[in-house]
Amino acid sequence: MPDEQLRIAVFIDFDNIEIGVRSTMNKDFDVGSVLEALKERGEVISKIAYGNWKRHGNASRMMSEQAVQMVQRDPTPRGDKNGADINLALDALEMAFTKPHINAYAIVGGDSDFIALVEKLKQYNKAVFVVGGRGFTSAILQKNCREFISYENVVREPEPRRQQQAARRPARRGELLPLEGVVPLLERALRLLAEREHQPLLGLVKSTMLQLDSTFSERDYGSGSFLDFAQKLAHARLVDVARIDSNYAVKLPERLHLAETPRLAAKATAVGQPGAPGGEGAEAAAETAAATGEQAAPAQAGAVRRSRRGRRGTPRKAAVPARPEPEREAPEAAAPLEVAAAEDPQPSAGPAPPPSEAAPPAAARRSPAHRRRRKP
């Protein structure tokens, strides 16, 4: 059955799913998003919803827009707790016996009472999908179906699909649509084929696109055949078309790689140019920056001094940095002569007297003891 085309019958317990979505997500139930998610699994054949439609005015209008058959459930004086569940189960089993071409069933609701119905349908070789919220759907129901479709993931779409479909429809008769508008639908179709491990041949791609959106037509884009439509997309570089034997395959281009290639090429071209990082002028630019930094450092210091001195209002002249003088090495033999010349400016004619005959200092000549010693 995995490779078999699924024909799905949808049964909706509206009262149950509406209460669960409103209590956990504080939103109204969107049947359109659920049906779009089921279209990705197969072809939706029948859609039936059970509830008290007298108190759901807006919901009944939404159901009518999606061509959902609404079954009215009138509550009894004691209530109608399981009336919709019993009615749903009986109709599903009757369809399993009388409509053998329907090979899949989708139960939209989170009540654990449906587990008996799920097990019985599986015994009749039917695929069973369960759609509900993770917070209010029975855990045993989630684990015993073929696939549990979380409602939180279904409604988590960046843009409503109905708006995308409205954008694809021509505004006036005879007006052609832009090719860019079909890319989201094409991406969904190719993703589904990849998940099913099918080769994206032209016929299979078109049937999958029609399964997702029955309003699609290549004639809205000015193409007489789907091959012509695919070649237009390839000419616009939106897809890649490759010939395989006597057929053609469609795949999306590697957009990230194509987007990075021009940037990397520009970066590679810049390398090697003067002034570019890693080029011939890199060393010259580094030397110029170093010289500029050395000249700018004294000027910045002078500007700081001027700003501090100019607080009193007196204008100051700009400080000119003095040129550093080269250091001079003092000669080894000349230093003692210069010291001696400084002490005795008048050079003596004869040899220097011995230390004993040297004249006493001036302070000693002026002392009284010295005067007494010189008296006869």
- Residue 306 burial (C-beta neighbours within 10 Å; 0-12, 13-18, 19+): middle
Phi, psi of 72 (to 5 degrees): -80, 130
Instruction: Clarify whether residues 179 and 140 are in a common domain.
Output: no
pLDDT for the residue 375: 52
pLDDT for the residue 195: 87
Q: Tokens at residue 250, please?
A: 């469609």
Tell me, what CATH number does 230's domain have? Answer: 3.30.420
Cα–Cα distances (Å) from 267 to 107, 110, 244, 281, in that order, read: 56, 56, 37, 16
Q: What is the DSSP letter of 107?
A: E
Domain annotation covers residue 48: yes
Distance of alpha carbon 23 from its chain centroid, rounded? 31
Domain annotation covers residue 282: no
pLDDT for the residue 211: 85
Give the range of the structural domain holding residue 126, as residue numbers without chain letter. Answer: 7-154
Domain annotation covers residue 273: no
pLDDT band at 351 (very low <50, low <70, confident <90, very high): low
Q: Tokens at residue 198, please?
A: 């099918």
Instruction: Clarify whether residues 148 and 180 are in a common domain.
Output: no
Residues 3-34 pLDDT 10s: 578 999 999 999 899 999 999 989 889 999 99
Instruction: Decide which of 126, 154, 182 is a domain's last residue.
Output: 154
Whole-number Å distance between alpha carbons of 348 and 368 = 30
pLDDT for the residue 169: 54
Instruction: Clarify whether residues 86 and 18 are in a common domain.
Output: yes
- Choose from 76-80, 120-124, 253-257 the range with maximum mean pLDDT: 120-124
Question: Which residue bears the tokens 């009757």?
Answer: 94
Whole-number Å distance between alpha carbons of 331 and 209 = 99
Instruction: Clarify whether residues 17 and 119 are in a common domain.
Output: yes
Instruction: Decide which of 154, 189, 215 is a domain's last residue.
Output: 154
Nearest to residue 12, comparing CAs of 104, 131, 112, 118?
A: 131
Q: Average pLDDT of 185-203?
A: 89
pLDDT band at 131 (very low <50, low <70, confident <90, very high): very high
Instruction: Clarify whether residues 132 and 195 are in a common domain.
Output: no
Domain annotation covers residue 140: yes
Domain annotation covers residue 122: yes
Domain annotation covers residue 111: yes
Nearest to residue 239, comparing CAs of 179, 155, 158, 153?
A: 179
Instruction: Clarify whether residues 23 and 116 are in a common domain.
Output: yes
Give the max Cα distance, the chain.
165
H or E segment at 131? strand 127-132
Q: Average pLDDT of 241-266?
A: 66
Q: Is the pLDDT of residue 344 over 90?
A: no
Cα–Cα distances (Å) from 50 to 59, 78, 119, 257, 318, in that order, read: 12, 19, 21, 50, 92
Cα–Cα distances (Å) from 368 to 104, 326, 359, 374, in that order, read: 139, 55, 17, 10
Question: Which residue bears the tokens 């209008």?
Answer: 61
pLDDT for the residue 215: 83
Instruction: Clarify whether residues 218 and 187 are in a common domain.
Output: yes
Tell me, what CATH number does 67's domain have? Answer: 3.40.50.1010
Instruction: Clarify whether residues 181 and 116 are in a common domain.
Output: no
Question: Which residue bears the tokens 């400084």?
Answer: 342
Whole-model pTM? 0.58
Q: Is the pLDDT of residue 332 over 80?
A: no
pLDDT band at 307 (very low <50, low <70, confident <90, very high): very low
**Among 34-38, 141-145, 295-299, where is mean pLDDT lowest?**
295-299
End-to-end CA distance of the chain: 151
Instruction: Decide which of 221, 254, 287 is a domain's last residue.
Output: 254
Instruction: Clarify whether residues 72 and 109 are in a common domain.
Output: yes
pLDDT for the residue 91: 95
Instruction: Clarify whether residues 185 and 144 are in a common domain.
Output: no
Domain annotation covers residue 279: no
Neighbouring residues of 298: CB distance < 8 A, sequence distance ≥ 6: 321
Q: Is the pLDDT of residue 47 over 90?
A: yes
Domain annotation covers residue 277: no
Q: What is 287-317 written as a DSSP string? A: HHHHHHHHHHHHHHHHHHHHHHHGGGS---P
| SS3 label, residue 242 | strand
